[in-house]
Amino acid sequence: MRGAGAPGGQGQHSGKMGTLGHPRLILLTYLLVALELTCLFMRFSIMPYLTRWLGLDSVAFGYLQTAFGVLQLLGGPVFGRLRCPAAVALVANLVAAVLSFTCIPISTKGVSTHAQAAPPGGAQASVFDLKAISRLLLRPGVLPVFLVKVVSGFPSGLFTVMFSIISMDFFQLDAAQAGYLMSFFGVLQMVIQGLVIGRLSSHFSEGALLRTSVLGFIVVGLAMAPMSSVFHFCLLMPGLVFSLCALNVVTDSMLTKAVSASDTGTMLGLCASVQPLTRTLGPTVGGLLYRSFGVPVFGHMQFATNVLVLLALWRQPLAQKPDKVW
């Protein structure tokens, strides 16, 4: 919040926003995210076939995915020199980083009368400041929403990180067919998150959308247990993508509304840490579960976990904060 404290800073912030309006900023952000996900899916598509060529089983593949989760912040510059897709991903992410630093303002969030004030004289919270993180999680209404985000999405996260090996072993797909399936997944995500979730959020409350996403996980998990073919999975994919998108969008919105404007960046960092956490723990756990129980275990876990989450939500509805003014 560089411009919040001094008139000169506010003028600088306003001037930068004048050169890149909100519609163009949203479009640029959307393109950067699409670019990043495209590169990520490139890696997802090629990795299981490379590991099979190297003679690794599903558990070893899980260990490899765990190592990626731990080293993902450092791996690009090092491993980007070794395979063509990795090199393309590295260059594309460098371009995205330059665009982010040069075109996106430091903050687009203004001061709201509803927003909670930052501690007097306190500096903006650091992502690595454990005291600041604990303070945010202990704010009213924050910890329950964060736990729902982590617990409800973890089973589908396990399935997602293991999906590349499942598509090769269980669905018997080659590299090109797996790429088509991942493309279908990406298109569904763009359509549902870009069009469906936005329209639903204007007609229904965040609490209702959150319960709907959890209910969707339950239905998809129940239908996933007897899954036997890739066609069966394609029928389930829209429900799974809708639940994932609704869960992420709604919980991120609720969590950022529950903190002050100066703490929004730290809260978004916490929200973004859920996926790396899943990618760190998920592959090892998922590989062991897949080898021991097969694909149905992911459906059973998703069903049982989200039934418990839904019961908790109905028993104690989550408090919602008013919107902040942009």
Percentage, residues of the chain above pLDDT 70: 65
Copy the structure tokens of residue 209: 């959308």
Does 163 or 61 have the greater pLDDT score? 163
pLDDT, the chain, mean: 75
| Most confident region among 43-52, 59-68, 304-313 by mean pLDDT | 304-313
Count other Cβ atoms within 10 Å, centred on residue 45.
20
Predicted confidence at residue 237, as pLDDT, reads 93
Burial of 314 (0-12, 13-18, 19+ CB in 10 A): exposed
Contacts 24+ apart (CB under 8 A), 79-85: 83/46, 85/39, 85/42, 85/43, 85/46
Does 303 or 33 have the greater pLDDT score? 303
Element (H, E) at 29: helix 22-53
Kindly report, residue by residue over 18-48, the tens digit of the pLDDT: 445 677 777 777 777 777 767 666 666 666 6
pTM (2 d.p.) = 0.66
Q: What mean pLDDT do residues 301-318 have? A: 89
Predicted confidence at residue 68, as pLDDT, reads 62
| Cα Rg, the chain, nearest whole Å | 21
Predicted confidence at residue 131, as pLDDT, reads 77
Per DSSP, the residues of 35-61 read: HHHHHHHHHHHHHHHHHHHTT--HHHH
Helix intervals (H) in 80-196: 84-103, 130-137, 142-169, 175-191
Q: What mean pLDDT do residues 134-162 have? A: 88
Reply yes or no on whether the pLDDT at 223 is more than 80.
yes
Kindly report, residue by residue over 72-104, the tens digit of the pLDDT: 545 444 444 456 655 666 677 787 778 767 776
Reply yes or no on whether the pLDDT at 290 is more than 70.
yes
Instruction: Please report, for the chain, the start and end positions of each structural domain, with discontinuous segments joined by +.
Output: 23-101+132-319
**Torsions phi, psi of 16, nearest 5?**
-70, -40
Q: What mean pLDDT do residues 102-131 have? A: 53
Predicted confidence at residue 43, as pLDDT, reads 64
Q: What mean pLDDT do residues 204-230 have? A: 92
How far is the C-alpha of 296 from the C-alpha of 305, rounded, in Å?
14
**CATH (residue range 23-101+132-319):** 1.20.1250.20
Kindly report, residue by residue over 155-211, the tens digit of the pLDDT: 998 898 888 788 888 888 887 788 788 778 878 887 888 788 888 888 888 889 999
